[in-house]
Amino acid sequence: MTTATRKPNDSGVTLKFRLDAVPQVGRGTPVVLQFGGVTDPDGATVRFSADAGLTISGSDTLSLPTARRTSATVTVVSEREGLAYLNVFITQKGAMSAISIPIQTGAAAPALKSSGELKSTPDGENIITMPAK
Protein backbone atom coordinates (compact mmCIF):
# COMPACT_ATOMS: atom_id res chain seq x y z
CA MET A 1 0.00 0.00 0.00
CA THR A 2 1.08 3.56 -0.63
CA THR A 3 1.07 5.92 2.34
CA ALA A 4 -0.39 9.32 1.50
CA THR A 5 1.79 12.32 2.30
CA ARG A 6 0.68 14.30 5.34
CA LYS A 7 0.98 17.99 6.15
CA PRO A 8 1.76 19.42 9.60
CA ASN A 9 -1.68 21.04 10.03
CA ASP A 10 -3.83 18.26 8.57
CA SER A 11 -6.59 16.24 10.24
CA GLY A 12 -4.15 13.80 11.86
CA VAL A 13 -5.73 10.81 10.13
CA THR A 14 -3.38 8.59 8.15
CA LEU A 15 -4.33 7.13 4.77
CA LYS A 16 -2.84 4.20 2.89
CA PHE A 17 -4.20 3.15 -0.50
CA ARG A 18 -3.77 0.75 -3.41
CA LEU A 19 -5.53 0.02 -6.68
CA ASP A 20 -6.76 -3.57 -6.86
CA ALA A 21 -6.95 -3.62 -10.67
CA VAL A 22 -5.43 -1.90 -13.68
CA PRO A 23 -7.80 0.97 -14.60
CA GLN A 24 -9.64 0.40 -17.90
CA VAL A 25 -12.15 2.64 -19.66
CA GLY A 26 -15.71 1.74 -18.66
CA ARG A 27 -14.70 -0.80 -16.00
CA GLY A 28 -14.76 -0.41 -12.23
CA THR A 29 -11.40 -0.10 -10.48
CA PRO A 30 -11.44 -0.92 -6.75
CA VAL A 31 -9.36 1.50 -4.67
CA VAL A 32 -8.61 -0.01 -1.26
CA LEU A 33 -8.25 2.59 1.49
CA GLN A 34 -6.95 2.12 5.03
CA PHE A 35 -7.46 4.88 7.61
CA GLY A 36 -5.85 5.19 11.04
CA GLY A 37 -5.06 7.75 13.73
CA VAL A 38 -8.60 8.84 14.57
CA THR A 39 -8.41 10.36 18.07
CA ASP A 40 -11.53 12.55 18.26
CA PRO A 41 -14.24 10.90 20.43
CA ASP A 42 -16.74 11.92 17.73
CA GLY A 43 -14.68 10.10 15.09
CA ALA A 44 -13.81 11.52 11.69
CA THR A 45 -15.61 11.91 8.38
CA VAL A 46 -14.43 11.19 4.86
CA ARG A 47 -15.83 12.63 1.64
CA PHE A 48 -14.85 11.48 -1.85
CA SER A 49 -14.99 13.38 -5.13
CA ALA A 50 -13.64 12.57 -8.58
CA ASP A 51 -12.09 14.63 -11.35
CA ALA A 52 -13.82 14.97 -14.70
CA GLY A 53 -13.57 11.70 -16.59
CA LEU A 54 -13.81 9.60 -13.43
CA THR A 55 -16.97 8.57 -11.56
CA ILE A 56 -17.43 7.08 -8.11
CA SER A 57 -19.61 4.02 -7.90
CA GLY A 58 -21.44 3.86 -4.56
CA SER A 59 -21.37 6.13 -1.53
CA ASP A 60 -19.23 9.27 -1.53
CA THR A 61 -19.03 9.57 2.29
CA LEU A 62 -17.68 7.47 5.13
CA SER A 63 -17.57 7.75 8.93
CA LEU A 64 -14.45 6.64 10.80
CA PRO A 65 -14.65 5.37 14.40
CA THR A 66 -12.26 6.46 17.13
CA ALA A 67 -9.05 4.50 17.83
CA ARG A 68 -9.62 1.81 15.20
CA ARG A 69 -8.06 1.17 11.83
CA THR A 70 -10.76 1.29 9.18
CA SER A 71 -10.59 -0.24 5.71
CA ALA A 72 -12.90 0.69 2.85
CA THR A 73 -13.05 0.07 -0.88
CA VAL A 74 -14.20 2.76 -3.29
CA THR A 75 -14.85 1.77 -6.89
CA VAL A 76 -14.10 4.32 -9.59
CA VAL A 77 -14.93 4.08 -13.30
CA SER A 78 -12.75 5.82 -15.89
CA GLU A 79 -14.70 7.38 -18.74
CA ARG A 80 -11.63 7.93 -20.93
CA GLU A 81 -7.91 7.29 -21.09
CA GLY A 82 -5.61 9.64 -19.21
CA LEU A 83 -4.88 10.77 -15.67
CA ALA A 84 -7.65 11.65 -13.22
CA TYR A 85 -7.73 11.84 -9.44
CA LEU A 86 -9.90 10.37 -6.70
CA ASN A 87 -9.97 13.16 -4.11
CA VAL A 88 -10.26 12.17 -0.46
CA PHE A 89 -11.23 14.82 2.13
CA ILE A 90 -10.80 13.75 5.77
CA THR A 91 -12.15 15.91 8.61
CA GLN A 92 -11.37 15.47 12.31
CA LYS A 93 -11.62 18.07 15.12
CA GLY A 94 -12.35 20.79 12.56
CA ALA A 95 -9.11 20.15 10.63
CA MET A 96 -9.16 18.79 7.10
CA SER A 97 -6.79 16.72 4.98
CA ALA A 98 -7.11 16.69 1.18
CA ILE A 99 -5.45 13.79 -0.63
CA SER A 100 -5.53 13.12 -4.36
CA ILE A 101 -5.07 9.53 -5.50
CA PRO A 102 -3.90 9.26 -9.13
CA ILE A 103 -5.88 6.97 -11.42
CA GLN A 104 -3.96 6.46 -14.69
CA THR A 105 -6.14 4.81 -17.33
CA GLY A 106 -4.42 3.51 -20.45
CA ALA A 107 -1.06 4.71 -21.71
CA ALA A 108 -2.11 8.27 -22.52
CA ALA A 109 0.18 10.38 -20.37
CA PRO A 110 -0.80 13.97 -19.66
CA ALA A 111 1.04 16.48 -21.83
CA LEU A 112 1.30 20.19 -21.28
CA LYS A 113 0.65 22.37 -24.26
CA SER A 114 3.33 25.02 -24.59
CA SER A 115 2.00 28.49 -25.20
CA GLY A 116 5.33 30.24 -24.86
CA GLU A 117 8.80 30.32 -26.34
CA LEU A 118 11.92 28.86 -24.74
CA LYS A 119 14.69 31.47 -24.31
CA SER A 120 17.91 31.76 -22.34
CA THR A 121 18.81 34.57 -19.93
CA PRO A 122 22.26 36.20 -20.07
CA ASP A 123 23.16 33.96 -17.09
CA GLY A 124 22.35 30.84 -19.13
CA GLU A 125 19.09 30.03 -17.32
CA ASN A 126 16.31 28.68 -19.54
CA ILE A 127 12.92 30.38 -19.29
CA ILE A 128 9.65 30.18 -21.18
CA THR A 129 8.26 33.53 -22.24
CA MET A 130 4.48 33.67 -22.17
CA PRO A 131 2.32 36.10 -24.11
CA ALA A 132 0.23 38.46 -21.99
CA LYS A 133 -3.51 38.29 -22.50
pLDDT of residue 124: 82
pLDDT of residue 23: 93
- What percentage of the chain reaches a pLDDT higher than 70? 92
Instruction: Give the separation between CA 110 and CA 53, rounded to whole angstroms.
Output: 13
By three-state DSSP, how is residue 126 classified? strand
**How far lies 18's CA from each of 1, 21, 90, 120, 132, in Å?**
5, 9, 17, 42, 42
Mean pLDDT of 88-106: 94
pLDDT digits (tens, 9 = 90+) for 109-122: 555 666 677 778 88
pLDDT at 71: 94
Tell whether the model's pLDDT for residue 102 goes beyond 90. yes
Domain boundaries, the chain: 2-129
Fold classified for 2-129: Immunoglobulin-like (2.60.40)
Phi, psi of 11 (to 5 degrees): -70, -20
The predicted structure's pLDDT at residue 114? 60
In terms of pLDDT, which residue wins out, 8 or 132? 8
The answer to whether the pTM exceeds 0.85 is no
pLDDT in tens, 24-64: 999 999 999 999 999 999 999 999 999 999 999 888 999 99
Q: Quick check: 54 and 77 in contact, CB under 8 A?
A: yes
